Structure 1
């Protein structure tokens, strides 16, 4: 019987056959990670959905700049301040804006909200058959599988007409909170031995309200908690076509595949710790700093420990200060500034003032530490992940749901990019890869291979 744990060794597998010399990437001018040498992204497409600005390129030279983010031309700070000012919830209004391209009037928005309400419930027997009978330790994995399975419940699943895709998009936006909440409770019950609690989504609630209602045992929450979560969802709803998950969605869409496959792929991309899991890593890092720094009021001691983290001698030994730096933003991330204010408010209200001060200290010292201990002189600042996990923890949201919350928020952005790719893309995305394998090898018969193998053994 084959030992599956050591199957690679048994069949002679070696990772060495996949190694490509870094020098070859330079020789062939390959843009690793689809990024230029200065860190800017390789231009691979056009989008009218959002703009992410973090630097200026003047006469071929990249210069740091203050960050800005806009949805359909509306600055994120303005949306955060004005969306929902008369009692509406901001996230739903942002979803409409992203999908339709303009801010709705009362009639349009009422119809949109009603469509969301009508699509919140999962198909009959879906919860039992898909979620409870096949629980997962990872809720992102469960979200991906659940979205794929919804294909089987859609009578027109393969149609890629804009009319059909907008229908599917609204359905997915509405169902994501329920899928995440039920996936969480299935995990808590089957793996953590907790009671199984499944609250039905409420039609009168907003998406933020329904999330809090469904993930809490007593389903209770305050209007303030719902508003802060609603704001966090708004800030995470969209971030350009070049981010890893949106680009994944566009690549899959360009092949002509169905909506459920494209969105499931985006969820799988977001699951990766280099993309969507950073907010939880920030929380773990800050807990580690609290554990190992004796005097949290001593900036010199904190700075010294950051140096150990950067030199891979502390923390998770990755050399990363999680939540610091971004692929586009340099001097500032506009989302961070908004969330920082919410984090400070919640911290002072709930008795976490000293912890917030630690976050601010690390945010301020980390760029200097990178410059000294790593020799990295580029301008960096805290990104949205730096404070989002802290905010979620103060909202008493389980850490297993931090990345699923990101997926719930980003669904509108993914669906918008899918529609844009379907309507304006027109070609399958297929970049080139330069082959560096050596051709002309002579085929060796099985008997000769056996002989060669024996000679090597001797």
Structure 2
């Protein structure tokens, strides 16, 4: 039976659900005042410096760090499930060449659900093997889907995955046809780690809302990808590079910033709904970027970005508007030779582990999301026949 909420008793309204808890979770937590992020109680800095994306994904999904045997088994399963069915590739060939990679990814992830059916009418505890298998399948296949579309839209055949490469190295190989240098592999691996999870953001909430209807997990992750594609969420790092290209030189940075401030316009990559200081993920990416530039030199993008950050410290920084992860992630990816429109799909490749960790928590809830609204429209109007309408 449909829920006919009259909304008459609702009086509190928070646009965008700002500050309103919508779930309990043990997956991750953020302290925005001091710029601290942890996954399952472990500081993101420790994970970025000592872990791998494969191990971090296991941690997010299972709540504990794996033993050596558990990690080896998890990694082997990821490698085994990297390949995609030829009908998925055939479907991708029919996409227009102008299709954005995020649109391709959302469509193909949704299509996976037809090839890997998931039990309907979920109730009670799901079989652990079934849940684990769908998590493995999605984490393993997203890099293949992104790399395949990136090549096919240019008329090139997709490159099959290799089982002897790490998650990060294999993605780079499928994308470029070349094995990455160790530093390149490490940068991608850390980028995956720091993007893997970030509490209750828009895409994670989309996952939970869709999952709460007992939709299959491929549909839930497809919904998350759709939310991530928006420029206010995952697409922000593309906007940062557009901004840096528009500025052009370090000397132009101050004029650009002053104009934006005078017009009260948003500056791409600065500010976050949670962090009131520098995003710890941005700090980690900058540290790796510096290692990269020690080998191949500093480029204009970084110099302009640092100048913008420096100039904004006395104005925006005092208000808690500081660089977020998008401010530097695009610069890092461009330095690695990755096309700009693949930045957000790379975000999805990483974030799917976090989405699935929250999806697993939602399985135990059994309660559909059904928020209320405050009605502000007319009441009591009468129907007017069409020939009497003026």
Hey, what does 2:68 align to over in structure 1? 106
Q: Which range moves more in the overlay, 154-163 or 276-285?
A: 154-163
Q: Is the 8 A contact 1:157 1:258 kept in 2?
A: yes
* 1:30-49 map, 5 Å: 30-35=13-18, 41-49=19-27
Matched, 1:378 2:319: yes
**Cα separation, 1, equivalents of 2:258 and 2:29:** 34
Residue 25 of structure 2 aligns to a residue whose secondary structure is coil
Q: List per-residue Cα deviations over 1:355-401 (Å, max 9, x = no partner).
A: 42322221122243448xxxxx6212111111100000111111111
The structure, 1 or 2, with the larger RCO (C-alpha pairs under 8 Å, 6+ apart) is 2
Alignment deviations for residues 266-312 of structure 1 (CA, whole Å, 9 cap, x no partner): 0000000000011111111111111xx5xx2x5xx532320213345
Which residue does the alignment assign to 2:48? 80
Distance 1:361 1:53 in 2: 27
Q: In 2 relative to 1, CA 355–349 (structure 1 residues): closer, same or farther, beyond 3 Å?
A: farther
Q: Would you say the 8 A contact 2:209–2:368 is kept in 1?
A: yes
Q: Is the 8 A contact 1:306 1:369 kept in 2?
A: no
SS at match of 1:147: helix
Instruction: Give 2:137's aligned residue.
Output: 171
Shift of residue 319, structure 1, vs aligned partner: 1.7
Q: Which moved more, 1:352-361 or 1:412-421?
A: 352-361
For residues 176 and 395 of structure 1, the distance between their equivalents in structure 2, rounded to whole angstroms, comes to: 20
Alignment partners' CA distance in 2, 1:141 and 1:353: 31
Determine whether 1:310 maps to 2:280.
no
C-alpha contact (below 8 Å) 1:181/1:215 kept by paired residues: yes
Structure-2 separation of matches of 1:360 and 1:162: 50
Shift of 1:176: 0.2
1:66 partner SS: coil
Task: Give 1:188 shift.
Answer: 2.7
Corresponding residue to 1:364 among 310, 314, 325: 310
C-alpha offsets along residues 224-280 of structure 1, whole Å, 9 cap, x if unaligned?
Answer: 21111111101100001x200001101111111111111100000000000001111
CA distance in 2, matches of 1:308, 1:347: 30
CA distance in 1, matches of 2:92, 2:104: 7
Deviation of residue 115 (structure 1)?
1.0
CA distance in 1 between partners of 2:117 and 2:284 (Å): 42
SS of 2:86's equivalent in the other structure is coil
2:114 to 117, 128, 152: 152
How far, CA to CA, are the matches of 1:122 and 1:172 in structure 2?
A: 11
Matched residue SS, 1:309 = helix
Q: Is the 8 A contact 1:285 1:322 kept in 2?
A: yes
The reply on whether 1:437 has 2:377 as its aligned counterpart is yes
| Deviation, structure 1 residue 134 | 2.6
Q: CA deviation at 1:162?
A: 5.0
- Partners in 2 of 1:310 and 1:430 — Cα distance? 39
Establish whether residue 389 from structure 1 lines up as the match of residue 330 from structure 2: yes
Cross-structure match for 2:164: 204
Aligned residue for 1:368, secondary structure, equals coil
Query: In structure 2, do the counterparts of structure 1 residues 442 and 354 end up closer, same or farther at CA, with 3 Å as the change threshold?
Result: closer
Distance 2:309 2:260 in 1: 14
Query: Which of the residues 266, 278, 291 maps onto 2:224?
Result: 266
Bigger Rg, structure 1 or 2 = 1
CA contact (8 A) 1:344 1:353 kept: no
Q: Return the offset for 1:348.
A: 3.6
Deviations 1:113-151 (A, max 9, x none): 1111111110233211x2112345111111111011111
> Which stretches of structure 1, 4 residues or more, deviate above 4 A after TM superposition?
none
Q: Write the distance in 2 (CA, Å) between the matches of 1:357 and 1:256.
A: 48
CA contact (8 A) 2:28 2:37 kept: yes
1:426 matched residue in structure 2: 366
Could you tell me how far apart the structure 1 residues matched to 2:314 and 2:373 are? 38
Q: Is the 8 A contact 1:116 1:173 kept in 2?
A: yes
Q: Distance between the aligned counterparts of 1:370 and 1:49, measured in 2?
A: 31
Q: For structure 2, which runs of at least 5 residues remain unmatched after alignment?
A: 1-9
Show the counterpart of 1:339: 285
Cα distance in structure 2, aligned partners of 1:208 and 1:447: 66
